[in-house]
Amino acid sequence: MTTPHDAPPVVEMTGISIEFPGVKALQAVDFTLRAGEVHALMGENGAGKSTLIKALTGVYSIDSGRIVVDGQEQEFSGPGQAQSAGISTVYQEVNLCENLSVAENIMLGHEPRRAGAIDWRATRRTAGELLTRLNLNIDPASSLSAHSLAVQQLVAICRAMVVDCKVLILDEPTSSLDADEVAQLFAVMRSLRDQGVAILFVSHFLEQIYEISDRMTVLRNGQLVGEYRTADLPRLELVSKMIGTSLEVLEELEEAPKRSVAERPDTAPLVQAVGLGRKGSVQPFDLDLYEGEVVGLAGLLGSGRTELARLLAGADRADSGLTRIAGALARLRTPRAAMQHGIAFSSEHRKAEGIIGDLTVRENIILGVQADRGWARRLPRKRADEIVDRYMTALDIRPANPDALIRNLSGGNQQKVLLARWLATAPRLLLLDEPTRGIDVGAKAEIQRLVAQLAADGMSVVFISAELEEVLRLSHRIAVMRDREKIAEVTNNENVTVSDLVELIASGGQHR
Amino acid sequence: MSTQAPAPADRPGTSVGSRAPGDTRRGLTSFTQNRLFWPVAALVLLVVANTIKNPGFLGVRLQDGNLFGATINILRNGAPLLLVALGMTLVIATRGIDLSVGAVVAISGAVACSFIASSPDPTSVTTVLVAVGIALTLSFVLGVWNGFLVSVLGIQPIIATLVLMTAGRGIAMLITNGQITTVNSPPFKTIGSGFFLGLPVAILIAGGVFALVAVLTRRTALGMLIESVGINPAASRLAGVKARNIVWTVYAVAALFAGLAGLMISSNVMAADANNAGLFIELDAILAVVIGGTSLAGGKFSLSGTLVGVFVIQTLTLTVTMLGISPSVTPLFKAIVVIAVCLMQAPVVRKKLAARRRRKASEAGTDSTSARTEVAA
């Protein structure tokens, strides 16, 4: 990019305010988006990023302020109007139709017609042209479900290009992509930027923000902190602006869950997996888990790290091998059976496999305990209140209202509620699959600290994360996964680095 | 149930069981926001219309120590539908649907009547008790079959229960040999048209079952677990909820209640009509559930809503009859009420109304507290 300062603004939002009952979601926020730039919108969960995006895309109507798109003042009263003004959005969760072809997905609603009927040949051709424009080598006639999530995301972007798109909003597009896929996405973003599209990008990954963005706007508590050129703002300073704490405090926070390399306790393992495996999911593996120890699972997306945890949690049934718990043979055929052995599993899919959206925070917290007791023995109200109060305070769940519906909470707080649900069952082994994905820096540090604390208190923890730094910082021992196989086990110490892990993953470890 | 005003006080099913005491919303807005408001309004409207047409409508008179009157009739005639609708509410709460309840009604009546008719002593209490036992057991078994198809084999509920819906009346025909089996048994007659302590037995049975279900779902954790399975089956399973057993149970219970309704219906006419007993009762039950505010998408359910729904449907049926309109037109009126109530409950309409209220409130310079509760994400 040459001088994005001089590029004409495509979107100018001035003095935007939106108020919900009891919450000032946005207060007089200004936001400018210029043609041919990648602009990152930064802020913690609840800072107002989503609200600002929804104001721009017409999902929310603004209480005051002005939105000017391409020199014309707009008053959006629905997403359709924003779209016809040239604003397209690709959300975190891909909302496409898996059972349709790539071409159908891209052109859905804009199919070329001939004599009243859809011209399928032209549909495929136009879709193919759009894919080529983004340098994507995808067969337009192939079924969408045949492609990885990353490719689906790119198809979603391609779909956004069908209408004459001036502004492309990418809300957390990278949260479930691995490094190669992110690189592919970024290539597409750069090519679009160079074609003059203004891109608004939201991500929790600071690395990615610094790699791709030209400029950023930081929000905090619904207020504008400022607009900066990415090159002028060091990371730590950005984070301090996002969470509103001084640099010193922040550095301390970063250091707090310093990796604590303890000697392995001289006891028998709590859980022992011997040749445990499942066809098509994960190759047979051996793994010993000790009390008071955090075992990290490192590996790329699809390396089998989730599948390994699911076998231990009884979420999937193993078809080979056996599990011993405290020396005794245990059959983990269902999640419930695993729970009764003191194994709790927090899935990586927070929405699909974690929260019960229409139930309250209270109900979500006590669900695990209640399920364990069975339906007939209802958790007494007083006892339930104690549990809920204790964990809402301990984990600082906000809003501090146990009767709020969990789906109205931010991602980080939903994650904390799920943690509370599992902790309330007093597990001996806690399996955490991507507990910090898609949540803000502050909540992330809190959860990391909590994991360290739980292990120090004697719990056995399995920690899965795509961020190797995080795995390295928290784990006493690291199992390295690749291609659905456990390829190595590393005892963590000061000398192990991220690049060691990457090398292990890349080289395939020492095959046994 | 995907509206945006989901404060705890709006939760259906709050009539029994304790709910959040901390809710402070008061006044007319929260009153009309309540999911039960429109169904109850429809019911009141119907009752008022009837009272205008017939001033004695609400009157209840005592005759031979027993209560009579239009309202008593509504309650009594509504008893079988209430039983079926209660089961349906639970099934729908788990994201399912049970189309076979009408067939189970027919089978249950056929079994009971055939047993009584062929027994040497149709008038003895023992015979009737055995007949009732057999009919209810068979209904329960049929429900277990439905539940097996849905929860173990994973067949879509609408298809799984369609099997029995289609086959069930055939089974009932087999049992009755294709005849309308009539019986003459005073103890059996008691179930549908007897009185106890001045009240029709049918009302007492249905009321008792309603209370039982309410206590079972709201005083134990069953209600929450059913809702949790209905909202997110995968997450519930991972949380350790026995999702399969819960789904299986609700189908068994729904059929059991349908069987009980079948006994009532056949006892009322002292005959088993395999073709017509409980015909379309599954649709009325689904209507009652929907009118009561339980979403067909599963999750939160409201037993009191279902109760109101049943009353609306029964009152409407009676109203049409009392107005001298041919009963064959009743479905049309049902359709009108259903569409009116559903419209008032539809998220789009509610949002529009809320927006209008908010505008008015802000014009008046007051703070509207009940409009958007969504927290900034």
Sequential DSSP letters for A459-508: -EEEEE-S-HHHHHHH-SEEEEEETTEEEEEEE--TT--HHHHHHHHHHT
The domain segmentation of chain A, as residue ranges, is 9-255, 256-342+428-440+458-512, 354-426
Tokens of residue B189, six digits: 């007659």
Q: Which of A18, A59, A375, A401 to mutate to test the interface with B (most CBs of B within 10 A)?
A: A375
Burial class (CB in 10 A: 0-12, 13-18, 19+), A322: middle
Q: Residue A408 and residue B221: Cβ atoms within 8 Å? A: no
Query: CB B2: neighbour CB atoms within 10 A?
Result: 11
Work out whether strand A429-433 and strand A460-464 pair parallel, antiparallel, or are unpaired. parallel
Q: What is the mean pLDDT of residues B29-44?
A: 77
What's the mean pLDDT in B316-322? 84
CA distance A148 to chain B (A): 22
Average pLDDT over residues B313-329: 84
Name the most confidently modeled range: A94-103, A137-146, A319-328: A319-328
Q: Which two tokens stand for residue B192?
A: 């549908």
Whole-angstrom Cα distance, residue B9 to residue A276?
Answer: 48
For residue B341, the one-letter residue type is V
Query: Which residue matches tokens 């042209």?
Result: A129
CB A347 to CB B231 under 8 A? no
- Token pair, residue B184, equals 């003459």
Q: Average pLDDT for residues A92-115, to the nearest whole number?
A: 83
Is a pLDDT exceeding 50 seen at residue B1?
A: no
Chain B touched by A400 (CB under 8 Å): no
* Topology of the domain comprising B8-17+26-359: ABC transporter involved in vitamin B12 uptake, BtuC (1.10.3470)
Residue type, B74: I
Contact B264, B135 (CB under 8 A): no
Tell me the chain B residues in contact with residue A421 when contact means C-beta distances shorter than 8 Å.
Answer: 239
Candidates B22, B225, B369; nearest CB to A403: B22
Closest by Cα among A37, A60, A35 to A50: A60
Is residue A197 within 8 Å of residue A133, measured between CB atoms?
A: no
Q: pLDDT tens, A152-202?
A: 888 888 888 887 788 999 988 776 677 777 888 888 889 889 988 999 998
CB neighbours of residue A245 within 10 Å: 14
Q: Which residues have CB under 8 Å from A407's CB, separation 6+?
A: A355, A357, A358, A414
Residue pair B165/B282 in contact (Cβ under 8 Å)? The answer is yes
CB atoms within 10 A of CB B334: 19
Could you say which of B22, B231, B370 has the minimum Cβ distance to residue A358? B231
DSSP character for A380?
A: P
- Half-sphere exposure of B85 toward its Cβ, with a 13 Å CA cutoff? 35
d(CA B30, CA B8): 11
- Taking the C-alpha atoms of residue A193 and residue A199, their distance in angstroms, rounded to an integer, is 7
Contact A104, A97 (CB under 8 A): yes
pLDDT above 70 covers a percentage of chain B that reads: 87
pLDDT classification of B328: cutoffs 50, 70, 90: confident
Largest CA-CA distance found in chain A, in angstroms, rounded:
79
Q: Number of helices (H) and strands (E), helices first, in chain B? A: 15, 6
A352 to B232: CB separation less than 8 angstroms, yes or no: yes
B235 in A contact zone (CB under 8 Å): yes
Contact B376 A421 (CB under 8 A): no
Whether the CB of A408 is below 8 Å from some CB of chain B: the reply is yes
H or E segment to which residue B254 belongs: helix B243-269
Q: Does A399 contact B at CB distance below 8 Å?
A: yes
A334 touching chain B per CB within 8 A: yes
Cβ contacts from A onto B, under 8 A: 126
A328 touches chain B (CB under 8 A): no
What span, in angstroms and rounded, lies between the C-alpha atoms of B366 and B377?
Answer: 25
Q: Do A25 and B376 touch (CB under 8 A)?
A: yes
A352 lies within 8 A of chain B by CB? yes
pLDDT at A315: 92
Contact status of B221 with chain A (Cβ, < 8 Å): yes
Listed residue (A324, A252, A313) closest to A282, CA to CA:
A313
> Does B372 score more than 70 pLDDT?
no
The mean pLDDT of A55-73, rounded to a whole number, is: 88
CATH entry 3.40.50.300 includes domain A256-342+428-440+458-512: yes
pLDDT > 70? residue B199: yes
Contact A367 B222 (CB under 8 A): no
Average confidence (pLDDT) over B28-56: 80
CA atoms within 13 A on the CB side of A462: 31
Q: Does B296 touch chain A (CB under 8 A)?
A: no
β-pairing verdict for A215-220 and A38-42: parallel
Candidates A330, A227, A214; CA nearest to A272 is: A330
Give Cβ neighbours of residue B26 (< 8 Å, ≥ 6 apart): none
Rounded to the nearest 5°, which phi and psi values hold at A396?
A: 55, 55
Q: Are A463 and A297 in contact (CB under 8 A)?
A: yes
**pLDDT interval class at A262 (50, 70, 90):** low
**Distance in angstroms (rounded) separating the CA atoms of residues B280 and B268:** 18
Give dist(CA A421, CA A400) in Å, integer: 16
CATH architecture of the domain with residue range A9-255? 3-Layer(aba) Sandwich (3.40)
Domains A9-255 and A256-342+428-440+458-512 share a fold: yes
Residue of chain A with shortest Cα separation from B374: A408
Identify each DSSP E strand in A172-255 by its residue range.
Answer: 198-202, 215-220, 223-229
B288 φ/ψ angles, rounded to the nearest 5 degrees: -60, -45
List helix spans (H) across A256-334.
305-313
Write the single-letter amino acid at B247: V
B124 contact A CB<8A: no
Return the closest-CA partner of residue B82 out of B250, B236, B305. B305
Instruction: Check CB contact under 8 Å for A21 and B220.
Output: no
**Residue A149 corresponds to which tokens in the numbers above?**
């999530």
> Which residue from A312, A374, A311 is spatially nearest to A343, judged by alpha carbons?
A312
pLDDT at A182: 83
Q: Is B237 within 8 Å of A335 when comparing Cβ atoms? A: yes
Whole-angstrom distance, CA of residue B195 vs CA of residue B202:
8
- B347 vs A: CB within 8 A: no
Among A91-100, A266-275, B253-262, B325-334, the range with the most confident prediction by mean pLDDT is B253-262
For residue B295, give how far its alpha carbon lies from the nearest alpha carbon of chain A (Å): 12
Q: Write out the H or E segment, with its range, that includes residue A90.
A: strand A87-90
Rounded Cα gap, residues A328 and B135, in angstroms: 48
Q: Does A229 touch chain B (CB under 8 A)?
A: no
Nearest to A38 by CA among A176, A172, A186: A186
Task: Please indicate if any CB of chain A lies within 8 Å of the CB of B375.
Answer: yes
Inter-residue contact A84 to A57 (CB < 8 Å): no
Going by C-beta distance under 8 Å and a sequence separation of 6 or more, which residues neighbour residue B334?
B284, B287, B313, B316, B317
- β-partners of residue A73 are A68
Distance from CA of B369 to the nearest CA of A (A): 6
ipTM: 0.78
A404 touches chain B (CB under 8 A): yes
Nearest Cα residue in chain B from A411: B377
Asked if the model's pLDDT at residue A261 lies above 80, the reply is no
Contact check, Cβ <8 Å, A23/B231:
no
Look at residue A1 in the predicted model and tell me its pLDDT: 43
In this complex, do B227 and A359 lie within 8 Å of one another by their Cβ atoms? yes
Query: Given the DSSP bridges, would you call strands A198-202 and A167-171 parallel, antiparallel or unpaired?
Result: parallel
Q: Does B348 touch chain A (CB under 8 A)?
A: no
Whole-angstrom Cα distance, residue B263 to residue A21?
52
Q: Do B8 and A403 touch (CB under 8 A)?
A: yes
For residue range B64-110, list pLDDT tens digits in order: 878 888 888 899 999 999 999 999 999 999 999 999 999 999 999 99
Residue A425 has pLDDT above 50, yes or no: yes
DSSP state letters, A57-85: TTSS--SEEEEEETTEEE--SSHHHHHHT
Task: Tell me whether strands A271-278 and A429-433 are parallel, antiparallel or unpaired.
Answer: unpaired
pLDDT of residue B213: 96
Query: Per the CB < 8 Å rule, is A370 touching B225?
Result: yes
Coil, strand or helix at A437: coil
Judging contacts by C-beta atoms under 8 Å, the chain A residues touching residue B302 are: none
Query: What pLDDT sits at residue A263?
Result: 55
Q: How far is A280 from chain B (nearest CA, A)?
A: 21
Window A:48-107, CB contacts with B under 8 Å:
48, 50-51
Residue A162's nearest CA partner among A209, A104, A221 is A104
Residues of B in contact with A381 (CB under 8 A): 18
User: On the CB side of A347, how many CA atoms lie within 13 Å of its CA?
Assistant: 20
- Give the C-alpha separation, A45 to A49, whole Å: 8
Cβ-based contacts of B236 with chain A (< 8 Å): 356, 367, 371
Q: Is A409 on the interface with B (CB under 8 A)?
A: yes
B242–A contact, CB cutoff 8 A? yes
Residue A258 has pLDDT above 60, yes or no: no
Bridge partners of residue A33, in order along the sequence:
A11
- Which residues in chain A have their CB less than 8 angstroms from residue B17's CB? none
- CA A202 to chain centroid: 12
Q: Which residue of B has its CA nearest to A353?
A: B235
In percent, how much of chain A has pLDDT > 90?
A: 32
A415 touches chain B (CB under 8 A): no
Tell me if chain A has a CB within 8 Å of the CB of B373.
yes
The first and second tokens of residue B239, run together, are: 């949380």
Residue, of A445 and A323, whose pLDDT is higher: A323
